Amino acid sequence: MNAQRPRPPQFRGEHTRAEWRDHVLPWLVTALLAAVMIVLIVWVANPAPPRTITISAGPRDSSFIVTANQYKKILARNGIRLNVLESDGSVQNLKRLLDPQQHVDLALVQGGAAEGIDTSSLISLGSMFYVPIVVFYRGTGHAQLSDFAGKRIAIGREGSGTRLLALQLLAANDIEPGGNTGLVPTDGLEAATQLVSGDVDAAILSGDSATRGLMLRLLRVPGISVMSFDEASAYTRLFPFLDRIDLPPGVLDLKRRIPPETVHLISPTVELVARSTLHPAISDLLIEAAQEVHGKAGLLQHAGQFPNPVEHEYPISEDAQRYYRTGKGFLYRALPFWLASIGDRALVLLLPIAVLLVPAMRVIPALYRWRVRSRIYRYYGSLIAIERHALAGATDAQRDELLAQLDEIEVALNSLRLPLAYADGFYVLREHVGFVRSRLTAARPVETS
């Protein structure tokens, strides 16, 4: 007979390990899938908040630096280190944020500093405080910036938000660089000194340098006046990042009634701008610190007015919007920051695992059933092979060999351990072994005497 002989079954010795394999293998497969999901979640979501972040603030002794150092002290309570970098002002702060080579996470940026710069990759945590534009000049009676055409104006140093905004406001009044108007790159005390000495005719100061003390000193100098922006409403329409602020009579000095009349000012707000990769937990801590620093009433604001999620030049981040609506999450309200952070990370990991548990509870029994049935099907595969060779006209010697293989299958079945739920399949298998044996013995030729 040229037919290929069946491969002898190899069942002995496997049953001592088969049962625990049937139970363990489905769980191992499910655990491996869960581990892969956890690794992907950790890699994509990166739930661990950093312990160190960096802010680009402003010039030394400016209100931006003072504000950043206040944030630093508050964040330190929760184990977060805030590195404070000095800068030339808002323009440099924006450039640092947008430069991937600069390890800067957030910055204080004055409104109007983003003109001509692509800031689509940045987000805002809200408006923090006002930095009003205050114009002092020599003489009286001026109510428009256009009145200073052809004169010398101190507009702020290079790279500062004050200079950039001053140029925008002057351009709206047809005063451009390169014309007959002298634009002097000084601000703060230096610009005030030049104004008093007559080196400049007007000085455009921002709220960062126009402190209450400096304003009082200038207004007490004979021949120095402060300009009231009577067209403040028009400016706020033309420049949406500006707000109108009124200084009522006597707000600087009640006894001497300084100023004697209401002074209308225009003011950008300073926003806390960050990269879009800022961790949500750090975002919450920063807004919480800003509320502590800026939430009180002041000369230019009411209590609770700042910080606020009013959108100007940068989109308010989703995390910031959530914080302004509902405050800190439950874990961060009830637990210390780092303990809450661990709990938050655990939830990030456990929720996907919980989602996996439902289908896993269905997959594990299916895998277990497949494992048990596959062992039974292996016997059927051998039986079919034996029966086919018997029907193909096997010789007596070949039938003896096939019967020996059936004996080996029966010996293996005697040590086979299956769950009771599969007992019917087990006994049907034994009946089929007997059926194949009867086919083999019936095919033997009858011997005659």
Residue 243: which of 265, 267, 273, 215 has the closest Cα? 267
pLDDT at 206: 85
DSSP classification of residue 188: H
Rounded to whole angstroms, the Cα distance separating 243 from 384 reads 89
More confident residue, 275 or 48: 275
CB atoms within 10 A of CB 2: 4
* E strand or H helix that includes residue 289: helix 280-294
Rounded to whole angstroms, the Cα distance separating 321 from 326 reads 9
- Inside any domain, residue 10: no
Span 95-127, pLDDT tens digits: 999 999 999 999 999 988 888 788 999 999 999
pLDDT at 6: 47
First to last CA, the chain: 28
Structure tokens, 448: 């005659």
- Inside any domain, residue 401: yes
**DSSP bridge pairs for 242:** 268
- Assess whether pLDDT exceeds 60 at residue 142: yes
Q: Residues 6 or more apart from 236 whose CB is under 8 A from it? A: 242, 243, 244, 266
More confident residue, 423 or 185: 185
* E strand or H helix that includes residue 96: helix 90-98
Query: Across residues 165-178, what is the average pLDDT?
Result: 93
Buried b (16+ CB within 10 A) or exposed e, 211-241: eeebbeebbeeeebbbbbbebbeebbeebeb
CB 399 within 8 A of CB 438: no
- Inside any domain, residue 405: yes
- Scanning the structure block, which residue is given the tokens 């209590």? 303
Residue 125: which of 312, 305, 377 has the closest Cα? 312
Span 335-347, pLDDT tens digits: 676 666 666 656 6
pLDDT band at 448 (very low <50, low <70, confident <90, very high): very low
CB 130 within 8 A of CB 259: no
- Inside any domain, residue 244: no
pLDDT band at 47 (very low <50, low <70, confident <90, very high): low
pLDDT at 150: 94
- Inside any domain, residue 134: no
pLDDT at 357: 67
CA atoms within 13 A on the CB side of 96: 26
Q: Which domain holds residue 373?
A: 15-38+347-442
- Assess whether pLDDT exceeds 80 at residue 363: no
Span 262-305, pLDDT tens digits: 999 999 999 999 999 998 889 989 999 999 999 998 888 888 89
Span 211-235, pLDDT tens digits: 888 899 999 999 999 999 999 999 9
pLDDT band at 4 (very low <50, low <70, confident <90, very high): very low
Q: What is the mean pLDDT of the chain?
A: 82
pLDDT at 345: 58
- Inside any domain, residue 291: no
What pTM did the predictor assign?
0.67
Rounded to whole angstroms, the Cα distance separating 64 from 201 reads 28
More confident residue, 162 or 71: 71
Residue 192: helix, strand or coil by DSSP?
helix
- Inside any domain, residue 22: yes
Q: How many structural domains is the chain composed of?
A: 1
Rounded to whole angstroms, the Cα distance separating 123 from 37 reads 30
DSSP classification of residue 4: P
- Inside any domain, residue 411: yes
